[in-house]
Amino acid sequence: MKSNIKFIDEKLQQSFESLKDSRTEDRNLYKWIYRALEDIENDAYCGIQIKKRLFPKKYVQEYFIKNLWKYDLPNGWRLMYTIGDNKINILSIILEWMTHKEYDRRFGY
């Protein structure tokens, strides 16, 4: 199911855009995230759904999420997003991306 992509805030979007013109590693991350955004835009449900009991408190308290999805990027990076519905369109909202180590810490693994 197609969706529109939004970032949770302007700061996150600027972080994403800044990756484009940075050093090689960050440019690769930009490409991976860009590809993920295209995939999510074409199918909002292409990621892996996270069980509600595993939601980090930060996401619930700050973003009031009702669902959470993970998109695996190369080299152990993770892209976290939630899916909303504004009655007209499906909205995929990008919350953050992180390394595998940061992901394990955030989710308490």
Tokens of 39: 């995939």
Alpha-carbon span 49 to 51, nearest angstrom = 7
Distance CA 56, CA 65 (A): 10
Q: What is the dihedral of CA 10, 89, 78, 11, to 10 degrees?
A: 0
| Residue 48: predicted pLDDT | 97
Per residue in 57-97, pLDDT (tens digit) is: 999 999 999 999 999 999 999 999 999 977 778 899 999 99
- 66 token code pair: 């009702």
The range of the structural domain enclosing residue 33 comes to 4-107
The verdict on pTM exceeding 0.85 is yes
Our CA angle for 88, 91, 95, nearest 5°, is: 160
pLDDT at 85 (0 to 100): 76
- Overall domain count for the chain: 1
Task: Provide the mean pLDDT of the chain.
Answer: 93
Say which CATH number the domain at 33 has.
3.30.2310.20
Question: CA 46 to CA 67: how far, in whole Å?
Answer: 14
Phi (first) and psi of residue 71, to 5 degrees: -115, 120
